[in-house]
């Protein structure tokens, strides 16, 4: 109660009300910052680590990415007569160690981040979905 007799003017609350009102009226560089996600998207940084893509010509199927992956996400499978990585994105934590490890610089991380899917099988990305040709857009 001693506290109350000191603070009965409630100046702190009034100051707070002023600053919230400034936000309501957008006074002084306090704009709305929401991005309406499905309708508009934020620009991703070039280094964004999304779904992987494998350069079809560069990949030699050596399996170094497989060895380096902390979560055993990567498996090397046969595709069109050659060996390519297959990624189970359900297990991937997008750390980028496979990209660092690749001796041929064949594996990349794309800007594709909407990877939700309906089944466990469909988050396993085989070479058919990962490969791209150099110069093509992945």
What are the residues binding other proteins (CB under 8 A)? Answer: 1, 3-4, 7, 10-13, 15-21, 23-24, 29-34, 36, 42, 44-49, 64, 68-70, 93-97, 100-101, 103-105, 109
Pick between residue 24 and residue 121 the one whose CB is nearest to other proteins: 24
Pick between residue 62 and residue 79 the one whose CB is nearest to other proteins: 62
Pick between residue 11 and residue 119 the one whose CB is nearest to other proteins: 11
Closest CA to 106 of 134, 79, 129: 134
Pick between residue 89 and residue 126 the one whose CB is nearest to other proteins: 89
Residue 98 near residue 117 (C-beta atoms within 8 A): no
| Minimum distance, C-beta of residue 128 to other proteins, in the bound complex (Å) | 25
| Minimum distance, C-beta of residue 131 to other proteins, in the bound complex (Å) | 21
Question: And the tokens for 64?
Answer: 């170094």
Residue 124 near residue 78 (C-beta atoms within 8 A): no
Cβ neighbour number for residue 59 with a 10 Å cutoff: 22
CA distance 29 to 5: 37
Question: And the tokens for 74?
Answer: 């990567």
């Amino acid at each position: 109660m001693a506290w109350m007799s000191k603070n009965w003017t409630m100046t702190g609350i009034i100051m707070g009300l002023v600053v919230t009102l400034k936000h309501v009226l957008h006074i002084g560089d306090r704009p709305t910052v929401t991005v309406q996600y499905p309708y508009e998207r934020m620009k991703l940084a070039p280094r964004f680590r999304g779904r992987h893509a494998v350069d079809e010509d560069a990949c030699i199927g050596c399996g170094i990415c497989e060895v380096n992956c902390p979560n055993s996400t990567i498996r090397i499978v046969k595709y069109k007569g050659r060996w390519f990585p297959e990624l189970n994105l359900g297990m991937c934590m997008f750390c980028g160690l496979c990209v660092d490890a690749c001796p041929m610089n064949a594996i990349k991380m794309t800007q594709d981040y909407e990877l939700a899917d309906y089944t466990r099988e469909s988050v396993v990305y085989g070479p058919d979905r990962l490969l791209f040709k150099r110069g093509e857009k992945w």
